[in-house]
């Protein structure tokens, strides 16, 4: 039914609390869930969440998931400097890092992984999508990996956005498109 690529994904999303890290992770988990696959989503819940860094692990697989805690991600989405420093060298060989280059200063010299730099926060601000840099990065992830079909993206958004805030679905779709065209 869906034409998304059925690969094993071990994903870390990381940034500041308030950037929508956990929400973006949830969106990815729903791509897997609605695609009929095994998924897990695990947030960091340490005291560092208060104004500090937030991160979450998402696994998508065709087999039951062993460890929901990802330590060597094959996909990293990163939205601040401390998280970039913490996780960029943990990315598995042949993995993919998607970096919000509006906020992250570092550029990786690893040549065994692909690094994609997207000025997502600037793009969000320029397009009246303030606070949706996270979704722009998810859009870019879809472009790079084919992790979700167009049909699945809308279905997942409709599932996780409460019906009282329905108008947000279209804003999120716009952010995804921006990311996919970046």
Partner 1 sequence: MERNLMKGNEALAEAAIRAGCKCFFGYPITPQTEISAYMAKRMPKVGGVFLQAESEVAAINMVYGCASSGIRCMTSSSSPGISLKSEGVSYIAGSDLPCVIINVMRGGPGLGGIQPSQSDYWQATRALGHGDFQVLVYAPSTVQEMADYVTKAFDMADKFRMPALILADGLLGQMMEPVTFADGEIKMSDASGKPWATCGHGNKRPHNIVNSLYLQAEELEYHNVERFKRYEQVKAECPEAESYLADDADIVVAAYGSTARLARSAVDAARSRGIKAGLVRPITLWPFPDKQIKAACANAKRVLVTEMSMGQMVDDIKLAIECRLPVSFFGRTGGVIPKPSEILAQIVTLDEELKGE
Q: Are 4 and 146 spatial neighbours (Cβ–Cβ below 8 Å)?
A: yes
**Contact string (CB under 8 A) for partner 1, positions 64-93, x = contact:** xxxxxx-x----------------------
Q: At what angle do helices 21-34 and 133-145 cross, to 10 degrees?
A: 40
Q: Are 125 and 103 in contact (CB under 8 A)?
A: no
Of the candidate spans 40-48, 75-83, 88-96, 134-142, the one that interacts with partner 1 by CB under 8 A turns out to be 40-48
| 42 forms part of the interface with partner 1 (CB under 8 A) | yes
Q: For the CA atoms of 49, 120, 154, 34, what is the dihedral angle to 10 degrees? A: -50
Of 41 and 84, the one with the shorter C-beta distance to partner 1 is 41
Site string for partner 1, 14-33 (x = CB under 8 A): ------------x--xx--x
Q: In terms of CB distance, is 31 or 99 closer to partner 1?
A: 31
Alpha helices, DSSP H only, in the chain? 21-34, 81-87, 120-126, 133-145, 150-160, 168-181
Where do contacts with partner 1 occur on this chain (CB under 8 A)?
A: 26, 29-30, 33, 38-43, 45-47, 64-69, 71
């Amino acid at each position: 039914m869906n034409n998304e690529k059925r690969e094993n994904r071990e994903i870390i999303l990381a940034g500041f609390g308030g950037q929508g890290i956990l929400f973006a992770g949830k969106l990815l988990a729903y791509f897997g869930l609605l695609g009929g696959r095994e998924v897990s989503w695990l947030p960091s819940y340490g005291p560092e969440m208060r104004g500090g860094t937030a991160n979450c692990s998402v696994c998508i697989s065709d087999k039951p998931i062993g460890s929901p805690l990802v330590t060597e991600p094959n996909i990293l989405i990163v939205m601040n400097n401390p998280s970039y420093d913490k996780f960029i060298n943990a990315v598995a060989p042949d993995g993919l890092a998607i970096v919000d280059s509006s906020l992250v200063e570092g550029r990786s010299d690893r040549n065994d992984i692909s690094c994609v730099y997207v000025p997502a926060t600037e793009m969000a601000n320029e397009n009246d999508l303030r606070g949706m840099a996270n979704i722009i990065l998810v859009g870019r992830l879809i472009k790079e990996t084919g992790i979700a079909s167009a049909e699945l993206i809308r279905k997942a958004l409709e599932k996780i956005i409460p019906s009282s805030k329905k108008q947000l679905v279209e804003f999120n779709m716009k952010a995804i498109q921006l990311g996919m065209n970046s």
